[in-house]
Amino acid sequence: MSVCPDLHQHYVQVCQNLGQPENPFIAHVLQEADKNDEIIWTKGFTLKIAGNSHLVPVQRVTDDSLQVLVSVLRTAAFVTGLDLRYNVLTDAGAKTMATFLQENSSLRYLNLMFNNIGKTGAELIAKALHGNETLLHMRMTGNKIGEEGGMFFASMLQINSTLEKLDLGDCDIGVQCLIATASALNLNKSVKAINLNRPLLFSQEEETTVHLALMLKNNSSLVELHLCKHEMKNFGVEQLCEALYENSTLRYLDLACNKITSDGVKFLGKLLKWNQTLQILDLNANRIEDDGAIYLSQALALYNRTLQVLSVVSNNISGKGLVALSDAMKTNTELSCIYIWGNKFDEATCRAFSELIQMGRLKLNCTDVEPYEVDGHIYLAELSHGLQKHYYWTPTYWVVTEKDANASLAIAAVSEYL
Q: What is the DSSP-derived secondary structure letter of residue 138?
A: E
Would you say the C-alpha torsion 314, 315, 318, 323 has a positive or negative sign? Answer: negative
Q: What is the mean pLDDT of residues 204-225?
A: 96
Mean model confidence pLDDT for the chain: 92
For helices 175-185 and 207-218, the axis angle rounded to 10 degrees is 10
Instruction: For residue 307, count CB atoms less than 10 angstroms from its CB and return exposed for 0-12, middle for 13-18, buried for 19 or more.
Output: buried
Gap between the Cα atoms of 151 and 337, Å rounded: 37
Distance CA 216, CA 348 (A): 40
Segment holding 282, helix H or strand E: strand 280-282
Lowest-pLDDT choice from 64-68, 233-237, 387-391: 387-391
First CA to last CA distance, the chain: 26
Q: What is the 3-state composition of the chain as percent helix, strand, coil, each rounded to the nearest 5?
A: 40, 10, 50
Residues whose CB falls within 8 Å of the CB of residue 148, separated by 6 or more in sequence, listed in order:
119, 122, 123
| Distance between CA atoms of residues 126 and 150, nearest Å | 9
Q: How confident is the model at residue 203 (pLDDT cuts 50, 70, 90)?
A: confident
- Taking only the tens place, the pLDDT of each residue in 346-360 is 999 999 999 999 999
Residue 42: pLDDT above 90?
A: no
| Amino acid found at 331 | T
Give the model's pLDDT for residue 20: 92
Q: Could you please report the per-residue DSSP string of 337-392?
A: EEE-TTS---HHHHHHHHHHHHTTSS-GGGBSEEEEEETTEEEEEE-S--TTTTSS
User: How many of the other CB atoms lie within 10 Å of CB of 18?
Assistant: 11
Contact call for residues 170 and 142 (beta carbons, < 8 A): yes
Number of H helices, E strands in the chain: 15, 13
Q: Please give the model's pTM, rounded to 2 decimal places.
A: 0.94
Q: Which residue has the higher pLDDT, 41 or 65?
A: 65
Nearest residue to 341 via CA among 320, 362, 370, 361: 370
CA distance 61 to 44: 22
Q: Distance between CA atoms of 185 and 158, rounded to whole angstroms?
A: 8
Give, as one character, the DSSP assignment of residue 261: B
Q: List, for residues 99-133, the tens digit of each pLDDT value.
A: 999 998 899 999 999 999 999 999 999 999 999 99
pLDDT of 394 higher than 80: no
Q: Is a pLDDT exceeding 50 seen at residue 1?
A: no
pLDDT of 38 higher than 90: no
pLDDT reported for residue 407? 56
Q: Please report which residue ranges of 44-88 form alpha helices under DSSP H.
A: 63-73
Whether residue 259 has pLDDT greater than 60: yes
Over residues 325-346, the pLDDT tens digits come to 999 999 999 999 999 999 999 9
Residue 4 has pLDDT above 60, yes or no: no
| Mean pLDDT computed over 216-237 | 96
- The CA distance from 284 to 286, in Å, is 6
Mean of the pLDDT values across residues 8-34? Answer: 92
